């Protein structure tokens, strides 16, 4: 499991997108509207769960964190190798409290350790206290935003050029 420290989850989505390109099954859990995510990234036919209080197909109530853990665990168990992106940890904390979200992250981490799968969790470091960050990052790999590869830098420059 990887915690990706970044204010906006661009790098996490690019890592997710690159893994999907290798024909690895993926599941995206996000606070962002699914159509916008599909417009911005090449996610093929990846299932996107939208963290929202609004009922609907593939909408998931953010207070139902136990059900979300079950969905993610089942997805990881179903495949020999898969990738899961959990974008919206801060929103889960707002709706459930830090301790419950920490237990959720630890549960998912235990599942992924027993598999060849990858879980990416982008977090904005400013949204957490130093102690909370230390607890979240204790048993995972941490990726810092500035460590961009040349390919990602090109993608970033192309994106910037589109808005000039």
- Whichever domain contains 126, its CATH number is 3.40.50.300
Of 111, 102, 108, 107, whose CA–CA distance to 133 is shortest?
A: 102
Assigned token pair, 103:
């237990």
Q: Rounded to whole angstroms, how far apart are CA atoms 161 and 164?
A: 5
pLDDT above 90: percentage of residues in the chain: 69
Return the minimum-mean-pLDDT range out of 17-21, 133-137, 146-150: 146-150
Assigned token pair, 18:
């690159």
Beta strands in 88-159 (DSSP E): 118-123, 141-144
Beta bridge partners of 29: 49, 86
**Domain membership of residue 99 as a residue range:** 2-162
Structural domains counted in the chain: 1
Q: What is the pLDDT of residues 86-126, one digit of tens each?
A: 999 999 999 999 999 999 999 999 999 889 899 999 999 89
pLDDT higher than 80, residue 29? yes
User: pTM of the entire structure?
Assistant: 0.85
- The strand order across the sheet containing 118-123 reads 59-60, 47-51, 26-30, 83-87, 118-123, 2-5, 141-144
Q: What is the pLDDT of residues 32-61, one digit of tens each?
A: 999 999 999 999 889 999 999 998 889 999
């Amino acid at each position: 499991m990887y915690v990706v420290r970044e204010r906006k989850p661009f790098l996490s989505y690019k890592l997710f997108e690159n893994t999907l390109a290798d024909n690895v099954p993926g599941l995206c859990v996000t606070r962002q509207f699914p159509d916008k995510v599909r417009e911005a990234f090449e996610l093929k036919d990846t299932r996107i769960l939208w963290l929202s209080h609004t009922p609907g197909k593939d909408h998931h109530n953010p207070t139902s964190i136990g059900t979300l853990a079950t969905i993610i665990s089942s997805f990881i168990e179903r495949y020999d190798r898969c990738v899961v992106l959990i974008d919206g940890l801060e929103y889960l904390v707002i709706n459930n409290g830090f301790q419950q979200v920490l237990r959720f992250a630890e549960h998912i981490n235990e599942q992924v350790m027993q598999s060849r799968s990858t879980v990416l969790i982008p977090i904005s470091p400013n949204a957490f206290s130093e102690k909370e960050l230390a607890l979240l990052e204790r048993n995972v790999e941490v990726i810092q935003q500035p460590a961009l590869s040349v390919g990602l830098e090109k993608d970033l420059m192309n994106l910037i050029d589109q808005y000039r």
